[in-house]
């Protein structure tokens, strides 16, 4: 057999040897959560027929304003872009690990020029020589008999999958954060408008009392109390103006674009409509589909594969170095009959004997990291269960709370109207009017806030069951 065929056969044999791995059998941790969602006695959680995990954000957020803002954020948000770059980084690392499994073939060439003097030449006569070489070869290819390289490759592959899930975690959170930020902006804008109306009414009352005081009808105490109500409204006015601007700043940061109020659509919280018939299902079905749970499991599988690589380090490693080429004293004769064939095959075996416990320490470290990954996985599952259960509890109570709050505002409005009429008739003092007005303003603020909480609950419920990542990535 010709030398080149011998080399090819040996390399083929090395690459085709069956390679096992020493990765432990992967056992998925059992769910450390209840079999059913917790409930509040006396309340019924509405079970819808829309599966959130398969419902894209475009279908859930069908409001034009929310649709526009979420679309902008998915294209420009910096956290999401970093998550996408992390995926590319992990993909590159995986390709590097995978490339180590197969031998790499390199071509190289060289030339040597020598010139000796009479004194340095063995023959006592000056001489010149030229040598040209061209080779194909592999360098230090390790035959993966015990699966060290394949274990590392599997770990890198699961790290890659983990970064993909991490990107979904970012998108899942981003979609909800943009929606909640916009709801908060609309809420503060409505509270600002309510405060402006209240302040205008209280200023009118104050002016009226100031005039009637001069006529001897109103007392100084009435005027002073009216002034406290005016200043209280002014305090709230400045506060809500600040909140509105801060809400715009927060929303702009999530969008990932330069600040421009024109990019924020105008709407009203009363006009925002979101699907309410979201189906939740059983914990074992919902939690396993959440991107953060999938990320934790891929990380656990990567740490499990690390154990296989650490175990393989206890066993011998065999590396092959080989080359085949031509050598000639003339460049023109290198690839002709004048060129001399040259080949080399250098197998090498390395057996670890004493390394100060380094291999055992690496194995212990890999096993400890796997145990940490198991604990982290269980922690993620328990946190996910708590988040879903919290939103379901809110879903069961917020509608009833909002209905009660609306009735409370209606009752407070009647109290204020009666108190004002009785004051004008001289039956009651202005103190009763002021108290009724203050209560009405407080209850109106609470009603607006409860409306936001109810809409935000729908957004958060969609988020915590893993919605918002089924749409194709931009």
Beta strand 340-350 with 317-328 is: antiparallel
Residues 233 and 468 sit within 8 Å (Cβ to Cβ): no
Nearest Cα to Cα of residue 164 among 87, 75, 245: 87
What's the CATH code of the domain at 356? 1.20.1600.10
Give the whole-angstrom CA distance, residue 217 versus residue 211: 9
Instruction: Cite the beta strand spans of 119-265 per DSSP E.
Output: 127-143
**Residue 241 tokens, joined:** 């103006």
Determine the pLDDT at residue 292: 92
DSSP-based three-state secondary structure for 322: strand
Say if 120 falls within a structural domain: no
Give the whole-angstrom CA distance, residue 450 versus residue 444: 10
Residues 151 and 312 sit within 8 Å (Cβ to Cβ): yes
Determine the pLDDT at residue 202: 87
Task: Provide the domain limits for residue 74.
Answer: 3-114+127-464
- The structural domain count of the chain equals 1
Please state, in angstroms and as integers, the Cα–Cα distance from residue 106 to each residue in 109, 123, 348, following that order: 10, 38, 19
Please state, in angstroms and as integers, the Cα–Cα distance from residue 296 to each residue in 79, 159, 224, 285, 388, following that order: 19, 10, 62, 16, 18
Determine the pLDDT at residue 454: 95
Say if 211 falls within a structural domain: yes
Determine the pLDDT at residue 148: 79
Give the whole-angstrom CA distance, residue 361 versus residue 392: 46
Say if 472 falls within a structural domain: no
Say if 235 falls within a structural domain: yes
Say if 470 falls within a structural domain: no
Counting Cα atoms < 13 Å in the Cβ hemisphere of 305 gives: 19
Determine the pLDDT at residue 179: 93
Say if 121 falls within a structural domain: no
Mean pLDDT, consecutive 10-residue stretches, the chain (474 aa), reads 50 53 84 73 72 82 91 88 80 67 65 64 63 65 75 86 89 91 95 94 83 71 84 94 95 90 88 84 79 92 90 78 62 54 66 78 91 92 89 90 95 92 80 87 95 94 86 48
Determine the pLDDT at residue 105: 62
Say if 122 falls within a structural domain: no
Give the whole-angstrom CA distance, residue 278 versus residue 91: 35
Say if 379 falls within a structural domain: yes
Determine the pLDDT at residue 4: 47
């Amino acid at each position: 057999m010709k030398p080149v065929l011998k080399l090819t056969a040996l390399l083929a044999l090395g690459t085709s040897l069956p390679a096992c791995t020493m990765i432990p059998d992967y056992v998925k941790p059992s769910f450390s959560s209840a079999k059913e969602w917790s409930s509040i006695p006396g309340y019924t959680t509405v079970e819808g027929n829309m599966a959130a995990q398969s419902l894209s954000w475009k279908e859930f957020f069908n409001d034009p304003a929310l649709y526009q803002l979420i679309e902008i954020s998915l294209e420009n948000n910096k956290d999401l872009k970093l998550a996408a770059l992390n995926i590319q980084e992990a993909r590159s690392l995986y390709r590097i690990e995978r490339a180590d499994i197969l031998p790499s073939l390199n071509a190289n060439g060289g030339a040597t020029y020598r010139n000796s003097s009479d004194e340095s030449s063995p023959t006592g006569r000056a001489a010149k020589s030229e040598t040209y070489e061209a080779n194909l070869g592999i360098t230090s290819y390790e035959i993966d008999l015990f699966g060290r390289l394949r274990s590392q490759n599997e770990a890198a592959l699961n790290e890659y999958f983990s970064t993909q899930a991490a990107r979904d975690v970012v998108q899942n959170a981003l979609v909800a954060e943009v929606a909640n930020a916009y709801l908060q902006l609309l809420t503060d804008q409505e509270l600002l408008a309510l405060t402006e109306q209240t302040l205008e009414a209280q200023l009118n009352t104050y002016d009226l009392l100031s005039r009637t005081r001069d006529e001897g009808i109103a007392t100084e105490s009435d005027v002073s109390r009216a002034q406290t109500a005016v200043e209280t409204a002014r305090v709230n006015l400045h506060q809500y103006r600040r909140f509105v601007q801060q809400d715009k700043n927060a929303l702009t940061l999530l969008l990932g674009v330069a600040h421009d109020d024109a990019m924020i659509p105008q709407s009203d919280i009363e006009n925002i409509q979101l699907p309410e018939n979201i189906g939740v299902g059983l914990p074992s079905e919902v939690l396993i589909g959440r991107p953060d749970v999938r990320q934790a499991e891929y990380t656990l599988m990567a740490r499990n594969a690390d154990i296989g690589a650490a175990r393989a380090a206890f066993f011998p490693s065999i590396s092959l170095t080989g080359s085949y080429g031509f050598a000639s004293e003339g460049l023109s004769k290198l690839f002709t009959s004048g060129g001399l064939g040259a080949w080399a095959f250098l197998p090498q075996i390395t057996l670890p004997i004493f390394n100060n416990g380094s291999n055992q320490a690496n194995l212990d470290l890999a096993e400890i990291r796997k145990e940490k990954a198991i604990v982290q996985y269980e922690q993620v599952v328990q946190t996910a269960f708590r988040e879903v259960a919290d939103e379901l509890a809110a879903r069961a109570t917020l509608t009833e709370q909002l209905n009660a709050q609306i009735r409370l505002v209606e009752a407070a409005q009647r109290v204020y109207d009666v108190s004002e009429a009785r004051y004008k008739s001289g039956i009651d003092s202005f103190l009763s009017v002021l108290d009724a007005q203050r209560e009405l303003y407080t209850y109106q603020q609470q009603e607006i806030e409860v409306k936001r909480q109810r809409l935000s609950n729908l957004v958060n419920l969609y988020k915590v069951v893993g919605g918002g990542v089924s749409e194709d990535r931009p």
